[in-house]
Amino acid sequence: MSPIRRVSLRTELPLLAWLVIVWGALWQDFSVGNLVFGLVLALLVTRFLYLPPVELSGRFNVFHAVRFAFVFVGQTIAASLKLLWLALVAGPAASGAIVAVPLRTHSDLMVTATGHLTSLIPGSLIVDVDRANATLYVHGIDVPDAAAAERLRRSVLAAEAELIRIMGSVEELQVLRDDETLLGPGPGPAAQGSGWGSSGPGSSGSGSGSSRRGAPGAPRPGSSGRGTGQ
């Protein structure tokens, strides 16, 4: 077995800072002494109780992050309004589906972040993750046909693209640019109309981000790809 490659302390600084913040929040004590003690524990955990690391790219684009924060809030509001409309108008007749979405990156951090981001949007939920193939299985509401499933898949890939622009590695950025060059720039998250993880009226049926690994919008093996009544 090959030895685990350790990452540098500088690369782990964001992780250490986050652990210290979590420590202070758990104790509801952000005094200097408690935060210093939390830092010591964070260093012990990351240095001596070593697990395969979640490697950070070492880059963070503040401009994209700030823009993305506003877009995310807008998409959350839009998806919430769509769910309200479905509850009042469609009711139990609204159909759902589970769609397989192969991602561009195999990074554990990016796969996890994309999954969490998708689940935060009302109307979508990650039900399974194929880590080996970097594939998310997303349950979406109001996915009555293949075209809606394709819009759902593209919305998840759009969310992944935003995260790559914010904190992806140079290699991931290059993969994203290659996709955009090959397929043409697709609609950004603001153009999805109903938010990531949903496919309502106004969503675009075209755009970039199609995967080179597997059929687009393929239902999960062993399932019909159609959810039960919502």
Q: What global pTM score does this model have?
A: 0.62
Residues 116 and 174 in one domain: yes
If one counts the domains in the chain, the total is 2
**Each residue of 134-153: pLDDT tens digit?**
999 999 998 999 999 999 99
Q: Name the strand (E) or helix (H) holding 30.
A: none
Evaluate if residue 174 carries a pLDDT over 60.
yes
Residues 71 and 182 in one domain: yes
Residues 180 and 133 in one domain: yes
> Is 137 contained in some domain?
yes
Burial of residue 136, with CB atoms counted within 10 A of its CB: 0-12 exposed, 13-18 middle, 19 or more buried: buried
Residues 117 and 52 in one domain: no
Evaluate if residue 90 carries a pLDDT over 90.
no
Residues 30 and 140 in one domain: no
Residues 126 and 153 in one domain: yes
Q: State how far the alpha carbon of 6 is from the alpha carbons of 45, 46, 60, in Å.
A: 13, 10, 21
Q: Could you say which of 56, 74, 99 is where a domain stops?
A: 56
- Average predicted confidence (pLDDT) for the chain: 78
Span of 76-80, 106-110, 114-118, 226-230 with lowest mean pLDDT? 226-230
Residues 119 and 11 in one domain: no
169 or 205, greater pLDDT: 169
pLDDT attached to residue 53:
64
Residues 90 and 149 in one domain: yes
Evaluate if residue 197 carries a pLDDT over 50.
no
pLDDT attached to residue 206:
36
> Is 83 contained in some domain?
yes
Residues 41 and 118 in one domain: no
Q: Could you say which of 12, 32, 56 is where a domain stops?
A: 56
**Each residue of 182-194: pLDDT tens digit?**
766 554 443 343 4
- Binned at pLDDT 50, 70 and 90, residue 133 comes out as very high
pLDDT attached to residue 51:
66
Beta strands in the chain, from DSSP E residues, in sequence order = 96-102, 124-130, 135-141
State the residue for tokens 């919430």. 80
Evaluate if residue 1 carries a pLDDT over 50.
no
> Is 201 contained in some domain?
no
**Each residue of 198-225: pLDDT tens digit?**
433 333 333 333 334 443 444 444 443 4
Beta strands in 106-153, from DSSP E residues, in sequence order = 124-130, 135-141
Q: How far apart are CA 210 and CA 107, in angstroms?
A: 18
Residues 100 and 139 in one domain: yes
> Is 220 contained in some domain?
no
> Is 128 contained in some domain?
yes
Q: How far apart are CA 132 and CA 111, in angstroms?
A: 11
> Is 113 contained in some domain?
yes
225 or 157, greater pLDDT: 157
Structural domain range at position 137: 62-191
Residues 109 and 178 in one domain: yes
Q: How far apart are CA 224 and CA 139, in angstroms?
A: 12
Q: How far apart are CA 158 and CA 152, in angstroms?
A: 10
> Is 209 contained in some domain?
no
- Binned at pLDDT 50, 70 and 90, residue 3 comes out as low
pLDDT attached to residue 191:
37
> Is 84 contained in some domain?
yes
pLDDT attached to residue 27:
92
pLDDT attached to residue 164:
93
Residues 128 and 170 in one domain: yes
C-beta of residue 161 within 8 angstroms of C-beta of residue 176: yes
**Each residue of 21-45: pLDDT tens digit?**
999 999 989 999 999 999 999 988 8
